[in-house]
């Protein structure tokens, strides 16, 4: 099962040709997907040869093949991680029972909703990033952007496969609608907040792939624990692709930090203004972008206290990231202590653990986010610059959950809404900041030998190729 049949119209490792009805339904969806890709995918590069990896096997060794391909010819397909023999439900009320190969009737709507919500984020991010190629800092970065984009397209395929194979006619209708919503469109927006935000410059792109794709990682980890086995298997394979997206974000921000810090040291630049005069991104601006994308991504985990989260856990639909690492998989006796805002102050509340599962997943996410921030800070410190990037409090700038209507500063203190409005410009990117960052990126760098001056070159190229390899054969 682990190798992928690539010669079929839809590459797959699910033995698609044995189910003619499903195969026909997916083949009918395929041209609609391609039209969506041509309309909403990377603009201006559809005819270029791009050095991309494509899945040819789903085992961790060598699942990928690297070669030049035009993006519309990318072999999008359906890849599930191998079946685990005798897999049992790992948590909740159904703990220890065999996993579900089919959707139980009583969980049909809930599962469909989760799959559609996950599926909606995938094309959304492609739409958000569709113009970035026109301002790329290098061919290396341009190629990474396109790799992320085609794989988000494949993640959409992964969810559409589940909708088509397990949810009948309304699954097929949902699959059509996934191609009809548009990121940021007032009338038909994407389903989740962060996926309607504009992502129009490369600093945003790197923050997005670091923070927002990492939300994806944790959602996929939680879904990979699911008692619905096809969902578990599909998300397990998606995680292998997701790792590259977060790598792009982590190393992207790192290279911006490196370039700025190195130039600050060389030229003894001691103010953000001096840094900007040199055409670099100053650290306070980086902090503001970090604050924005981190907090938008925190919202994606949902409310701190959630009866939905409790029932997902109870029924076995959605677990915690790395459920194996916990001792108690039933979680009926335990509580999660949290500070709940009430009348301008905090009161401590012990919430039944199942109702706090969103917060448990957010905890794991926050810890994972911190690791990259530490690396960025080490790079800044290595250049002798006395400054640090920090993750703001998770109470800051929230739109979902307990803090949606409570204004907090980045340290997590409750402040008045007026005070928030007054100081917002020093915490989150202002129009001026955005205009400045965009001004650095007006001209794309299409010469493989060149790198934009606001970012350091990467340490290594892709798949053993040099950094100045022609990763995209761009026809101007
Ligand atoms: Fe994805
Ligand atoms: Fe991703």
Q: Which residues have beta carbons under 5 A from ligand 2 (an ion)? A: 213, 216, 242, 245
The number of the ligand nearest the C-alpha atom of 297 reads: 2
Token pair recorded at residue 265: 């040291």
The number of the ligand nearest the C-alpha atom of 123 reads: 1
Q: Which residues have beta carbons under 5 A from ligand 1 (an ion)? A: 122, 152, 155
- How many domains would you assign to the chain? 1
The number of the ligand nearest the C-alpha atom of 208 reads: 2
Distance (Å) from CA 303 to ligand 2 centroid:
22
Distance (Å) from CA 122 to ligand 1 centroid:
5
Alpha helices in 167-306 (DSSP H): 168-177, 202-207, 213-223, 229-266, 272-277, 283-299
Distance (Å) from CA 152 to ligand 1 centroid:
4
pLDDT per residue of the chain (476 residues) written in tens, 0 to 9: 467 777 789 999 999 999 999 999 999 999 999 999 999 999 999 999 999 998 777 666 656 789 999 999 999 999 999 999 999 999 999 999 999 999 999 999 999 999 999 999 999 999 999 999 999 999 999 999 999 999 999 999 999 999 999 999 999 999 999 999 999 999 999 999 999 999 999 999 999 999 999 999 999 999 999 999 999 999 999 998 999 999 999 999 999 999 999 999 999 999 999 999 999 999 999 999 999 999 999 999 999 999 999 999 999 999 999 999 999 999 999 999 999 999 989 999 999 999 999 999 999 999 999 999 999 999 999 999 999 999 999 999 999 999 999 999 999 999 999 999 999 999 999 999 999 999 999 999 999 999 999 999 999 999 999 999 999 999 87
Bridge-based pairing state of the strands 335-342 and 345-352: antiparallel
CA distance 389 to 363: 19
Q: What is the DSSP letter of 55?
A: E
The burial of 348, by beta-carbon neighbours within 10 Å (0-12 exposed, 13-18 middle, 19 or more buried), is given as exposed
The number of the ligand nearest the C-alpha atom of 118 reads: 1
∠447-451-455 over CA atoms, to 5°?
155
For position 57, what pLDDT does the model report? Answer: 72
Distance (Å) from CA 208 to ligand 1 centroid:
12
Distance (Å) from CA 379 to ligand 2 centroid:
25
Is the pTM higher than 0.85? The answer reads yes
Map residue 301 onto helix, strand or coil.
coil
Q: How many residues would you count in the chain?
A: 476
The number of the ligand nearest the C-alpha atom of 155 reads: 1
Task: Give the CATH number of the domain where residue 423 resides.
Answer: 1.10.620.20
Domain assignment present for 149: yes
Domain assignment present for 172: yes
Distance (Å) from CA 182 to ligand 2 centroid:
17
CA nearest neighbour of 142 among 79, 52, 39: 52
For position 6, what pLDDT does the model report? Answer: 72
Domain that holds residue 435: 16-473
For position 1, what pLDDT does the model report? Answer: 47
Token pair recorded at residue 417: 């809404």
Distance (Å) from CA 172 to ligand 1 centroid:
20
Domain assignment present for 128: yes
Please, are residues 23 and 17 in contact by the beta-carbon 8 Å criterion?
yes
Distance (Å) from CA 439 to ligand 2 centroid:
27
Burial of 384-404, coded b for 16+ CB within 10 Å and e otherwise, reads ebebebebbbbbbbbebbbbe
Distance (Å) from CA 158 to ligand 1 centroid:
10
CA distance 55 to 75: 8
Domain assignment present for 208: yes
Which value, to the nearest 10 degrees, does the dihedral of the CA atoms of residues 266, 269, 272, 277 take?
-80
Q: Residue 414: count other Cβ atoms within 10 Å of its Cβ.
A: 17
Domain assignment present for 9: no
């Amino acid at each position: 099962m682990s190798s992928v049949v690539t010669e079929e119209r839809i590459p797959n490792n699910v033995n698609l040709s044995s189910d003619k009805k499903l195969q026909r339904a997916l083949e009918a969806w395929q041209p609609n997907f391609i039209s969506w890709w041509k309309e909403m995918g990377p603009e201006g590069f559809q005819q270029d040869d791009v050095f991309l990896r494509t899945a040819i096997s789903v085992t961790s060794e060598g699942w990928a093949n690297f070669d030049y391909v035009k993006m519309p010819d990318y072999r999008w397909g359906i890849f599930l991680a191998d079946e685990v023999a005798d897999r049992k439900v790992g948590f909740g009320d159904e703990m220890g029972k065999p996993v579900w190969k089919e959707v139980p009737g009583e969980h049909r709507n809930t599962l469909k909703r989760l799959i559609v919500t996950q599926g909606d984020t995938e094309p959304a991010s492609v739409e958000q990033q569709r113009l970035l190629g026109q301002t790329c800092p290098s061919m290396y970065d341009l190629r990474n952007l396109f790799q992320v984009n085609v794989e988000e397209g494949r993640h959409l395929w992964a969810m559409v496969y589940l909708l088509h194979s397990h949810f009948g006619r309304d699954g097929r209708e949902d699959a059509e609608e996934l191609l009809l919503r548009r990121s940021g469109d007032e009338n038909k927006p994407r389903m989740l907040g962060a996926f309607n935000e504009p992502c129009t410059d490369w600093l945003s792109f790197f923050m997005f792939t670091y923070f927002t794709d990492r939300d994806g990682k944790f959602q996929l980890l939680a879904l990979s624990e699911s008692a619905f086995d096809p969902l578990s298997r599909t998300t397990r394979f998606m995680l292998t692709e997701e790792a590259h997206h977060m790598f792009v974000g982590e190393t992207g921000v790192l290279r911006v930090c490196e370039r700025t810090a190195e130039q600050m040291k060389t030229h003894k630049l001691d103010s953000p203004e001096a840094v900007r005069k040199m055409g670099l991104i100053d650290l306070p601006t980086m902090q503001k972008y970090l604050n924005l994308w981190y907090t938008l991504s925190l919202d994606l985990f949902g409310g701190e206290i959630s009866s939905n989260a409790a029932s997902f856990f109870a029924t076995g639909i959605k677990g915690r990231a790395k459920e194996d690492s916990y001792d108690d998989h039933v979680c009926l006796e335990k509580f999660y202590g949290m500070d709940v805002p009430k009348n301008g102050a905090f009161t401590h509340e012990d919430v039944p653990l199942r109702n706090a599962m969103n917060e448990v997943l957010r905890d794991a996410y926050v810890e994972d986010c911190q690791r990259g921030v530490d690396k960025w800070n080490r790079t800044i410190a290595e250049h002798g610059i006395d400054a640090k990037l920090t993750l703001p409090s998770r109470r800051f700038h929230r739109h979902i959950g307990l803090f949606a209507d409570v204004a907090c500063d980045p340290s997590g203190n409750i402040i008045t809404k007026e005070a928030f409005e007054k100081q917002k410009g020093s915490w989150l990117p202002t129009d001026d900041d955005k205009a400045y960052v965009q001004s650095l990126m007006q001209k794309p760098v299409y010469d493989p030998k060149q790198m934009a001056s606001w970012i350091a070159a990467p340490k290594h190229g892709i798949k053993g190729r040099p950094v100045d390899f022609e990763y995209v054969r761009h026809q101007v």
